[in-house]
Amino acid sequence: MPESGFSSLRGELKKNQYLREKIEKKEGRWPVSESSIEDFEQDFQQLLETDQEEGRMGIRFLVRERQRQDHKPIVLDLMGDGEAMRGIANTRFIQRKGMHGLSVTLNDLRDADAMQADQKQDLDVLEENLLTGKGWRAIRHWLVEIDEQAKFDVILSRARGGLHAIGESPRTAFSLLNRAYRLLEKGGVMILEIPELPRVEVETFCLDMNKIPGIKMRLDYNYRGFPTKIRIDKGEEAPDDLRSIIAEHK
């Protein structure tokens, strides 16, 4: 992307950060919080497979699949307060081998007992703003504490009202999507809620993404007909970065 493009993007992010700060001062958190893992799996059910043994537990099934590869999976919830992570970690068939879980939110409202309970399960919550580079650097630093080469196996986001802080610019949304994608392990999955962007823009982006070797992207639509839910599977042949395709959708 040319320098002028980066300058414009920085301007959009500053404007969205201002909106985020207004939300934070008024609410003390993103406008929706406490999304359980059941809420996630209900909302994203059209993008999830069903585990016949355990019923419809699609996200937890994805985490268990990574356990089967002799690996302790690492899961990220963007704009989440930790409730969904606890639901995953406390699932019977995941408890046996465990996981690492990180939630990123504007305000960590846990008390000392909750923090201690999370720590015992390798769960953590970061107070960070995802509209700033500092927030994403903090996530990368958290990963390095596990392993220098560590990346996330599953990345989730059910931001709801927090999506207003991202705004309605496709370029801003796709750029933030790329920040998350770069932290996703090969073989990993991203399941995210996005703002109501122009339908044709998102559908074209999805078509172009599915032309890239190693990437599979799917959409689901809200009641207003907007593609607000996405799933991206990152295969072994997938690129590490999406900047080139995002530049085509500026």
- Residue 208 confidence (pLDDT) above 90: yes
State pLDDT tens for residues 120-169.
Answer: 999 999 999 998 999 999 999 999 999 999 999 999 999 876 666 676 77
Rg (CA), the chain: 17
pLDDT over 80 (residue 50):
no
What element of type H or E holds 218? strand 215-220
Q: Which residue has the higher pLDDT, 215 or 169?
A: 215
- Please indicate whether residue 13 or residue 176 has the higher confidence score (pLDDT): 176
Print burial letters for 162-200: b (CB count within 10 Å at least 16), e (below 16). bbbbbbebbbbbbbbbebbbebbbebbbbbbbbbebeee
pLDDT cut 70: percent of the chain above it = 80
Extents of the domains making up the chain? 3-247
Q: Which CATH number fits domain 3-247: 3.40.50.720, 3.40.50.150, 3.30.930.10, 3.90.1150.10?
A: 3.40.50.150
Bridge partner residues of 192 (DSSP): 157, 230
DSSP state of 155: E
pLDDT at 27: 46
Tell me the pTM.
0.85
Q: Return the SS3 of 125.
A: strand
Tell me the β-bridge partners of 193. 229
DSSP code at position 165: G
Let me know: does 167 contact 195? Beta carbons within 8 Å.
Answer: yes
Q: Provide the pairing of β-strand 74-78 with 152-157.
A: parallel
52: its two tokens: 């016949």
What tokens does 103 get? 């939630």
Alpha-helical regions (H) of 105-198: 112-120, 133-146, 170-182
Q: How far apart, in whole angstroms, are the C-alpha atoms of residue 126 and residue 178?
A: 20
- Least confident interval from 42-56, 180-194, 219-233: 42-56
Q: Which two tokens stand for residue 182?
A: 């770069």
Which residues lie across from 23 on neighbouring strands?
none
Question: Which residues have CB under 8 Å from 72's CB, separation 6+?
Answer: 97, 98, 99, 100, 122
The CB density around residue 33, as the number of other CB atoms within 10 Å, is: 21
* Residue pointed to by tokens 């019923």: 55
Which residue is it, tokens 């300058």? Answer: 7
3-state SS, residue 20: helix
